[in-house]
Chain A
């Protein structure tokens, strides 16, 4: 839907790769390659380099687009170097991070995208420690610091916004990055039927603002734009924490100060983003 051009897809190791390509079957009707966990960006830009070379030599005549998918583990953590390098080199490809805020493929371990206070199997909430101690790194902003032509945050609950962003990303003429919140029923501990509602809640509480960065310009989009304009209510972070089992322990009086800290951090980041988008 986001492009009319043929697309070739690269995939990091993760749920998407494992669940769609169990040999001898494949769910992909487009050319697709997975090589390893940490190098989806390097692998797809190899494909794109071959395309550039063969187009220059006149062997390939059609215009082709390139996309790579990785989870937050394969993007924020182990795959960060190869993504950063590929963007710096200016290859034309769209990198999509399906961000479910932990290593879900291997059984819910913390990643650099896991929120403070979340309980995972490697940062479990216990008597002394209330889940993950650190805030996630703001990867979208780190990617934007590369001054690439296009980057965005999106959510599956606003599919129109997501597809608009993907369309721009494909046609921008250089590297593009889309960070998509991807609620994981198993890892986040909620009923699968709530998936889209949870994604919406992420945006409505401003823990996952929708915005885009296009050649130096920052713009809020969708519900985030409406919240900033006062047309929609900004929900408290407790609504978000209550919706998922991974934060359940934070709702006791003992960890109330953690909830307050998270709210303060979400507010601080939201105001910072509003300023960037207002400039």
Chain B
């Protein structure tokens, strides 16, 4: 196993190179751009035999992926922020056609005002579109999730598109030491792609995307619901298989010193990594604290979260996005997950890091301290000048 220095975007492009997808559609948007740039170099150097299509917009990039995946090709693309928002209509269509498209999303704030830095408002806006959503803590996980995503998306119990998220600039542009698998190991793990009812099989013609009147539409939506209902099991199984191959295991949730903790802070993305350092420091000070990383946001692992958080004194849910007029998007789902618990912890929400506002270890410590002193409001804003 080779160790190299790469940033998160390069790591994703490298994973794709090893997988050698049939079609990659590309449209550049910061901080995703490095992915399609790096991949275009692999194409230019003949290291992959992918059909690489530079579309004229994100909307067309995903439309191309839909056509390519329906045709029977293993397909992926990447985007961020406004690009994901521009794809919004097509996200639903990709999922409704049960196309196993993989898309890397370099999480970035939405306009306006325009801002190119990290938050999760793009991904959270796509949460109801029928895509599986995985968040990566660092470049290593972005690489590993990118490989697993194909296997998850193409699993016969699912056939659903998968979004692999990584934090813009924080993870996309920071150099890390990565452990890479050998090409043959990656190819063996994802296996050969077997399309189902491809358009290119013209001898057995199929109709994709018909007009679906009220007497069938609801049933089709229910089939998506049912497929999503099988997804956590599939993700777990693929993650376990990947651990056997790579030695790296990622669960749907990653608890860090949660078992005996009184106070837990939960986050998705790179902040989950920072929290581990904070937990170590506070543990050294004698505080019984833990952190919980949300690796999979869709489908939402409500039961698993409830089991881990039941009986804690207080829990803070960090949201790097806001739902105006409500709270952060993850918080109400966690709160709802714990509604039936016998021993509910106090649950509070922290909105943080919008538009790339840095979150320091000291600030994260202040969250634990507010929990311990029972001083946190229901909804709090970390690091904003009010």
Interface residues of chain A, those whose CB is within 8 Å of chain B, are 6-8, 10, 17-18, 21-24, 26, 28-36, 38-39, 42-54, 56-57, 60, 62, 64, 81-82, 84-86, 88-89
Contacts of A56 in B (CB 8 A): 49, 51
B205 touches A35 (CB 8 A): no
Known A-B contacts A30-B202, A38-B59, A39-B63; the reply to A45 vs B210 at CB < 8 A is no
Q: Mark B55-68, 1 if CB is under 8 A from A, else 0.
A: 11101100111111
Contact A23 B211 (CB under 8 A): yes
Residues A64 and B93 in contact, CB atoms below 8 Å apart? no
- Could you tell me which residues of chain B, from 197 to 213, have a CB within 8 Å of some CB in chain A? 199-202, 205-213
B73 A50 Cβ-Cβ under 8 A: yes
Interface residue B23 (Cβ < 8 Å from any Cβ of A): yes
B272 vs chain A, min Cβ distance (A): 35
Instruction: Tell whether B241 is near chain A: CB-to-CB under 8 Å.
Output: no
- Chain A residues whose CB sits within 8 angstroms of the CB of B51 once the complex forms: 49-50, 52-53, 56
CA distance A45 to B66 in the complex (A): 10
In the complex, which of the residues B49, B73, B199 has the most CB atoms of chain A within 10 Å of its own CB atom?
B199
Give 6 A-B contacts (CB < 8 Å), ordered by A residue: A35-B63, A39-B60, A43-B63, A46-B25, A47-B70, A49-B71
- Alpha-carbon gap, A238 to B211, bound state (A): 39
Q: Which residues of A contact B54 (CB under 8 A)?
A: 89
With a cutoff of 8 Å between Cβ atoms, the chain A residues found around residue B190 in the complex are none
Q: Which residue in A10, A31, A47 is a CB contact (below 8 Å) of B206?
A: A31
Is B209 within 8 A of A34, CB to CB? yes
Chain A residue nearest in CB terms to B205: A31
* A33 contacts B72, C-beta separation under 8 Å: no
Find B211's partner among A18, A60, A64 (CB 8 Å cutoff): A18
Question: Are B64 and A42 in contact (CB-based, < 8 A)?
Answer: yes
Residues in A whose Cβ lies below 8 Å from that of B206 = 31-32
Q: Are B205 and A45 within 8 A (Cβ)?
A: no
Cβ contact within 8 Å between B201 and A49: no
Contact, CB under 8 Å: B211 / A85: no
Kindly state whether residue B37 has any CB partner on chain A within 8 Å. no
B209→A35 contact, CB < 8 A:
yes
Say whether, besides A42-B55, A42-B67, A31 and B199 are in contact (CB < 8 Å). yes
Q: Which residues of A have CB within 8 Å of B89?
A: 36
CB pair A49–B64 under 8 Å, yes or no, is yes
Contacts of B53 in A (CB 8 A): 45-46, 49, 89
A29: chain B residues at CB < 8 Å are 205
Task: Name the B residues within 8 Å of A51 (CB-CB).
Answer: 71, 200
By Cβ-Cβ distance, the 9 closest A-B pairs, closest first, are A46-B67, A85-B56, A50-B71, A50-B73, A21-B210, A46-B64, A42-B63, A53-B51, A42-B60
In the complex, what residues of B have CB within 8 A of residue A82's CB? 56-57, 59-60, 63
Q: B23 near A53 (CB under 8 angstroms)?
A: yes
Apart from A36-B89, A85-B56, 18 more pairs, CB < 8 Å: A6-B202, A31-B205, A32-B206, A33-B66, A33-B207, A38-B59, A45-B67, A46-B67, A46-B75, A49-B64, A50-B71, A50-B72, A51-B71, A53-B22, A54-B71, A57-B22, A64-B202, A82-B63
